[in-house]
Chains A and B, each alone.
Chain A
Amino acid sequence: MMYIEQFAGISYQPPFDVEAPLHRMKPIDNSAAVHEADYQKYIDAQVRRRMSDQIKRGVTCAMRAVEGIDINALHAIFVATGLGCLKDTQQFLQVSLQSKPPSPTAFIQSTHNSIAGQIAIQLQCKGANMTYSQGERSFERAIMDTYLEELQEHQRVLVGAIDERIPFLDQAIIRINPIDQDSIVGAGAFFFLLAPIRTAQSKASLVDCILTSSNQVSECIQIVHRDTPIDLLLYGNYCEAQAQINQNLKHIPSLDFTLYSGQFMVQSAFALDLALKFLEEENIQELQQLCPTIKRLPRRIFILNDTPMGMSGLIVDRI
């Protein structure tokens, strides 16, 4: 069990610093663009100028997620990314293949761990610094690593996930995954400050991270449901989830979060950010706008991510 104290996300939905975030959420269409945050509030102008958009997003969310804490207590930074810094990768690839003398900036920023590295610099966090890149499981791998850390009560871990969208990726996905013709490619950065114990700052508890190689959605949900009832199911629909939920799990209020996030490798981090917003909202009507069948403020939210690698689940409980 870990406790989430602070969080921040940047996605196609309004960023972290708006009032009534759930009220402002809208399903996306193909014209979706990332709602950038006010980066100048967080990153010094000189540093910001050299940073890619993706690194700005990551650094800003990270800074927001650790706001006000004693940085010496930040034990580690764990970042997940499915595809790394695509824009810089493409830019450096283009120039290097055309034999022009390339500038190193894009190469430096193309490295997967340039985000975690920049966060370490901006936060002056000298502890462990990892970047996980295991496809659709990347974020869950980062979370699982925090469970391995033997944290002292005062120590915190910053866990995040980040991926970006470039036009070339859109073209590639349409051709590589013909079943995904209608899906919209997602993007964003999401960071969470995790603590080993419950404190006055705890916003929710991250009860467990479940991974299975099967796509038997209802079986998995029923196991979780039997233990403590699930009040809200946030699911990322890859192929099986929706049909199975419609068939067997109509009684659980549910929401396909990818309608708001798009589909991308670390989409479950968007869902965790959304789950926390649901738990923060005290007005049931705000929740019902997104999920009409929900009848009470949720105590337990189950995030189910149905991916080509199998299913993953995150159980999030109200404090």
Chain B
Amino acid sequence: MSVFITGLGVTSALGCSYEENLAQLKLGNSGLKEHVLHDSSCIMGCVPKSNLEIVGAFNLSNQAYSRSFLLGLCAAYQARTSVSSKLPSRMGLIVGITVGGMDLTEASYQQYIENKEKLDWLRLRQHPSGMVATQLAQFLEDIKFTNTISTACSSGANAIMHGAKLIEKGKFDCMLVGGVDALTQFTIKGFQSLMLYDKQACKPFDEARNGLNLGEGSAFLLLESERSQRATGNKILAKLVGWANTNDAYHATAPSPVGEGATRAMSAALKMAGIAPEAIGYINAHGTGTLNNDLSESRALLDVFSHQVPPFSSTKSFTGHTLGAAGAIEAAFCVMALQQQQCWANLNFTQPITDTKLTPISILKDAQKLNFVLSNSFGFGGNNTSLVMSL
């Protein structure tokens, strides 16, 4: 059974709409900049809209909202309203997220450390990861089912996969699926403590790569079954034709050095799509810019594509690593690639990794005929997800 992608919403360091993100991808302009978040000053990918601006734009009541919810709302609302027709009454929502309302939690916890009496405990209600989905469902009104998946950096891709499975099995005709995460001190300090945070802009797949930069954002895809799409007549932007999730069972944070789980995820997603590896015209790689990921992913690419690796890039050089949102934002960029028949650049690349000698696309590339694209999302806990999309 086909799963159609008919709606799309994206919010990232590149902008707060489909059009803004697309324009920056085409121009090759990165959204990564030096910013200060509390006492951390580093290169990150901030969404160019404040919480106040988002609260104002959606006429929300005067209370504290987690930035995760607000970013999610921007993207989910775009995806939901990008289709004009009335949707089936039973629509599900799945959110991929890693740290929930941590931005509010850390502000509250700071108060707690300074003076317990001053702490606004109610803000902690937005801490649980599932709250963003609950809040989005309240705002969007026609959501009848919510779920939240938290598998670190593959959360967004897994949310999409799970939504596609529910449609494929006939449980739902329409799903709003995606991911979200806001920048927090917690995650920035976390990756810094792991020595994985590059002080400069990240250089995915470059021999001189030295880690990642975090970003924030959200993307949501509206998935429809054939039956739903026939009834709504919504324009098909792309189809989701293959997906797979595997586990390395190797290490808590590091990927298998030979990309074993990644190889299996890509191969299984291709098999499900019923296509040979050479049918893939563009790969949006996980490509965090860390020493381990890029080497292991390169080896997996060589393995799956038998040394004939299709054009690939990591758009984290534009957005930063948006954690729970990454898989969803990158799936959205894949839909844009299919729509535009263009492959996005991998910025800051100069020299291939000595071991694997793979060269990503370093400038925007027009595709001859882009029919199938692959998006990789890997995460802590050895979690690997690959999605295959087609025109």
Complex alpha-carbon distance, A148 and B169, angstroms? 7
Q: Which of A90, A101, A114, A138 contacts B381 (CB 8 A)?
A: A114
A125 CB contacts on chain B under 8 angstroms: 247, 249
Bits for B305-341, please: 1 = Cβ < 8 Å to A, else 0. Answer: 0000000000000000000000000000000000000
Complex alpha-carbon distance, A104 and B251, angstroms? 14
A94 CB contacts on chain B under 8 angstroms: 109, 113
- B150 pairs with A131, CB closer than 8 A: yes
Stretch in A105-113, A250-258, A292-300 with 4+ CB within 8 Å of B: A105-113
- B245 pairs with A129, CB closer than 8 A: yes
- Is A229 positioned at the interface, with any CB of B under 8 Å from its CB? no
Complex alpha-carbon distance, A135 and B128, angstroms? 7
- B39 pairs with A121, CB closer than 8 A: no
- A107 pairs with B147, CB closer than 8 A: no
- Is A117 positioned at the interface, with any CB of B under 8 Å from its CB? yes
- B148 pairs with A133, CB closer than 8 A: yes
Bits for A193-234, please: 1 = Cβ < 8 Å to B, else 0. Answer: 000000000000000000000000000000000000000000
- B124 pairs with A172, CB closer than 8 A: yes
Chain B: interface size category: 35 or more
A129 CB contacts on chain B under 8 angstroms: 151, 245-247, 381-383
Q: Which of B121, B150, B162, B246 contacts A113 (CB 8 A)?
A: B150
- B148 pairs with A97, CB closer than 8 A: no
In the complex formed, the residue of B with least CB distance to A109 is B252
- A135 pairs with B189, CB closer than 8 A: no
Stretch in B42-50, B129-137, B225-233, B358-366 with 4+ CB within 8 Å of A: B129-137
Bits for B125-159, please: 1 = Cβ < 8 Å to A, else 0. Answer: 10111110110000000000011111110000010
Write the nearest CB–CB distance from A66 to chain B, whole angstroms. Answer: 13
- B166 pairs with A130, CB closer than 8 A: no
Write the nearest CB–CB distance from B304 to chain A, whole angstroms. Answer: 16
- B128 pairs with A133, CB closer than 8 A: yes
- A126 pairs with B264, CB closer than 8 A: yes
A109 CB contacts on chain B under 8 angstroms: 252
Complex alpha-carbon distance, A109 and B190, angstroms? 11
Write the nearest CB–CB distance from B57 to chain A, whole angstroms. Answer: 27
Write the nearest CB–CB distance from B37 to chain A, whole angstroms. Answer: 11
Complex alpha-carbon distance, A90 and B112, angstroms? 12
Bits for B349-391, please: 1 = Cβ < 8 Å to A, else 0. Answer: 0000000000000000000000000000001111100000000
- Is B41 positioned at the interface, with any CB of A under 8 Å from its CB? no
- A132 pairs with B380, CB closer than 8 A: no
Q: Which of B189, B247, B250 contacts A128 (CB 8 A)?
A: B247
Complex alpha-carbon distance, A99 and B113, angstroms? 13
- B249 pairs with A135, CB closer than 8 A: no
- A117 pairs with B381, CB closer than 8 A: yes
- Is A120 positioned at the interface, with any CB of B under 8 Å from its CB? yes
- A108 pairs with B245, CB closer than 8 A: no
- B380 pairs with A117, CB closer than 8 A: yes
Whether A120 touches B382, Cβ cut-off 8 Å, given contacts A101-B193, A126-B264, is: yes
A7 CB contacts on chain B under 8 angstroms: none
- A145 pairs with B162, CB closer than 8 A: yes
- B171 pairs with A148, CB closer than 8 A: yes
- B382 pairs with A117, CB closer than 8 A: yes
Write the nearest CB–CB distance from B157 to chain A, whole angstroms. Answer: 12
Complex alpha-carbon distance, A135 and B251, angstroms? 28
- Is B186 positioned at the interface, with any CB of A under 8 Å from its CB? yes
Residue from A103, A113, A125, A131 with most neighbouring chain B CB atoms (10 Å) = A113
- B247 pairs with A126, CB closer than 8 A: yes
B100 CB contacts on chain A under 8 angstroms: 133
Complex alpha-carbon distance, A103 and B195, angstroms? 11
A93 CB contacts on chain B under 8 angstroms: 105-106, 109, 186
- Is B261 positioned at the interface, with any CB of A under 8 Å from its CB? yes
18 further A-B pairs in the complex, CB-CB below 8 A; given A81-B150, A96-B106, A130-B151: A77-B247, A82-B130, A93-B105, A99-B39, A112-B129, A113-B379, A114-B380, A114-B381, A117-B252, A117-B383, A120-B249, A126-B261, A127-B246, A128-B245, A131-B381, A134-B147, A134-B148, A148-B171
Taking Cβ atoms with an 8 Å cutoff, the residues of B that contact A are 39, 97-98, 100, 105-106, 109-110, 113, 121-122, 124-125, 127-131, 133-134, 146-152, 158, 162, 165-166, 169, 171, 185-186, 189-190, 193-194, 245-253, 260-261, 264, 379-383
Between A and B, 21 residue pairs with Cβ closer than 8 Å are A81-B150, A84-B150, A96-B106, A96-B189, A101-B193, A107-B193, A108-B253, A112-B150, A117-B252, A123-B249, A125-B247, A126-B246, A126-B249, A129-B381, A133-B97, A135-B128, A135-B131, A137-B130, A148-B165, A176-B121, A176-B124
Q: Which 3 A-B pairs have the closest CB atoms?
A: A117-B381, A107-B190, A112-B150
Taking Cβ atoms with an 8 Å cutoff, the residues of A that contact B are 77, 81-84, 90, 92-94, 96-99, 101-104, 107-114, 116-118, 120-121, 123-135, 137-138, 141, 145, 148, 171-172, 175-176, 265, 309
